Amino acid sequence: MRFALLVAGATAVLVAGMAALVAVVWSDLERRDRDVVGPILEDELGLVLVAGLLFVTLLAFAVAAVLGRYAGAARRLAADAELAAEANPAHRAQPRGAAELRRSAAAVNRLADRHEEAHRETERAVARGRQEIEEERRLLAALLAQLASAVVVCNLDGRILLYNQAARELLGGDEGLVGLGRSLLAILDRDVVAHALDRLLAPGAEGPRARFVAPAGGRLLRVEMAPVRDRDEATTGFLLSAEDITGPAQRGERREALLRGLIEESRAAVGSIRAAVESMVEYGDLEEAQRRRFLDIVRAETLRLGARLEDVMGDAPDGAAQGWGLDEMRAGDLLEALARRLRGGDGPAVEVVPADRDLWVGVNSHALGLALTEAVATLRRADRGVRRVRLALVPDGGHGRLEVRWTGRHLNVENLRAWEGRFRDVLAGHGGEAWSRAEPGGVAILCLLLPVAEPTEPPPPRPVPAIAARPPHYDFALLGRSERTELDERPLGELRCTVLDCEMTGLDTEHDELVSVGAVRVVIGRVLAGEVFERLIDPGRAVPEAAVRVHGITDAMLAGKPGVEEVLPRFARFAEDTVLVGHDVAFDLRFLQRAEPAAGVRFDQPVLDTLLLDAAAHPDHEDHALEAIAERLGVSVVGRHTALGDALVTAEIFVRLLPALRARGVETLGQARAAVRATPEARASERLYG
């Protein structure tokens, strides 16, 4: 555009000057001279126009030569200098253009040599200064790695700053939910965490910890939370340790089932022994053969009972009877946990009345569940009409009243009082009470009072943040960062990104299929090489030989792998609440979006393309291919044409582009989206930025 404007301007000036000259000469001619010259000019008008066109062409070539020798070379020199100063200290300017610009390029390269050496010396000095801190961090990471309990440190917005491998396995599973910068509130219920945090931070709070029980990923977790404070004793985050108590609860249920079976079998054995002994006592003059027969019965039943006791002791899980003390638990979670226990085996149908979300109780859920299960089992043996049990937990003064309601044959008050006694020992540790009543129509209710957790002031409104394997699993730079900035206004260096790449059976976006997805997270300008996603996908068709030559993924490697409908939901969880980044990412997104209906997911996050970002940061470079950008920025290309390998290279490129973008005034996500729209290369990916 500048070239065209320059040629047009120069042509217009020259034409205007010639026209002015002709007008002056024409005005000085006598009338008879004009009559002579006029016809000559008319006859030679075509020659004049051709000469003018030739003149403009020669002028254009002259302007292009000047621009190429001076302006273009100067712009490329400026771009090379920016690269060396901002992104890649090892980059050097290529001498181009006039002699003056070649001398300037040599001077820039000498400065770049000094800059690179100063950069290396600075890095060495910083490394020496940070060595002690890094040693302490590695020691911390090593200690955390040895802990059996899951440990997570978060800032006050719930963003994960540190975690150990146990936390990744317990809380994250295969979905990659645990990661630096990700939100703990994507794993644990926000209200549960907020309630515990508010109790922990409340003025006059008793003790340095808050305890609660919460479900997560189909498991029941016992959680302890402690504050993280700075030098001024201001709370900047919290430490959370979690333990899976699903196993102990299941072992307790198994032990309870063994004991119930032993009781049932013992009744028959004790009955036989009692009958034999009573017969021997009542009929003292029994013949020796009859007496021996009764003694054999007693001996056989005694031996059978003893053997059964040994079997039960051998099968009983260790530590099943251990209690866990009182934990804070939301009423709805407690009801669901009790309902799951009652429904086990041939248990009754259980209806749960929705509880107040703000109602919390202090409870030993394991002990209470055991007692309630045994009571309902006894109830069903005594009254075979019982098929349905209804559970409710409602506020009652300073307590929560757990109501167990069933319908069956009429039960008298004496029976109910006998059964409620089963709960008295359990409730003694809760400081609660138990009572029962019968209602008309064969309806019976057992009521248990449980202590309510101390109320706290309603938590201040917090935004719900949507949200990495080996040490280090920490990033304390997140500690002071807030989630209150709108995404488009957030600096590029503070974004949480998922850098992705895909491999396919071919290049036809309408008919070819995905065979691999790879991704890595980038958090606050750092590539988290330990937090990656890599899956092979069965495309449901043969992989063409041409595609195999590119990415090396064969049909044998894909045999037995999950389909796209299973892999994409896992990838969506991995990339949740992040900005998607890729190189020429529109191509990858077409395949992902075409598979969205089958997978039941939708990728609607903001998108950044490193091809377009490089075009915005380095407009004077013509080649924006992945290899060319990597060479300019000093990024080693490893694992090319593998999904994860390309994702890692793209992530390094993205991080190194950030300083160059800042130098051009592109600092936020919104500014980056606007900058790439202005590039000619953006037309091919316009739909990503509309």
- Active-site residue numbers? 641
Residue with tokens 């900047």: 236
Q: How far apart are CA 475 and CA 161, in angstroms?
A: 5
Is there a contact between 653 and 626 (Cβ–Cβ < 8 Å)? yes
CB atoms within 10 A of CB 274: 12
Write the CA distances from 599 to 250, 456, 570, 585, integer angstroms: 33, 42, 10, 20
Is there a contact between 496 and 576 (Cβ–Cβ < 8 Å)? no
Residue 600, by phi and psi: left (phi above 0), alpha (psi -120 to 50) or beta? left
Is there a contact between 590 and 615 (Cβ–Cβ < 8 Å)? no
Greatest alpha-carbon pair distance for the chain in Å reads 173
Give SS3 for 432. coil
Is there a contact between 457 and 358 (Cβ–Cβ < 8 Å)? no
Q: How far apart are CA 690 and CA 685, in angstroms?
A: 9
Give SS3 for 580. strand
Strand 235-244 with 434-439, pairing? unpaired
CB atoms within 10 A of CB 507: 10
Give SS3 for 257. helix
Is there a contact between 333 and 215 (Cβ–Cβ < 8 Å)? yes
Nearest C-alpha neighbor of 543 from the set 560, 557, 525: 557
Nearest C-alpha neighbor of 496 from the set 521, 519, 474: 521
Q: How far apart are CA 93 and CA 112, in angstroms?
A: 9
The pair of three-digit structure tokens given for residue 166, joined into one six-digit string: 């146990």
Nearest C-alpha neighbor of 91 from the set 83, 99, 100: 83
Q: How far apart are CA 384 and CA 382, in angstroms?
A: 6
What type of residue sits at position 678? A
Is there a contact between 521 and 498 (Cβ–Cβ < 8 Å)? yes
Residue 500: beta bridge partners?
Answer: 519
Helix-then-strand count for the chain, H and E: 21, 17
DSSP character at residue 169 = I
The pair of three-digit structure tokens given for residue 412, joined into one six-digit string: 């008298």
What type of residue sits at position 32? R
Residue with tokens 């002056």: 24
Phi, psi of 642 (to 5 degrees): -115, 145
Phi, psi of 200 (to 5 degrees): -70, -35
Strand 327-330 with 210-216, pairing? parallel
Is there a contact between 111 and 118 (Cβ–Cβ < 8 Å)? no
Q: How far apart are CA 549 and CA 527, in angstroms?
A: 29
Give the contacts of 162 (CB within 8 A, at least 6 positions apart): 140, 144, 151, 152, 153, 473, 474, 475, 476
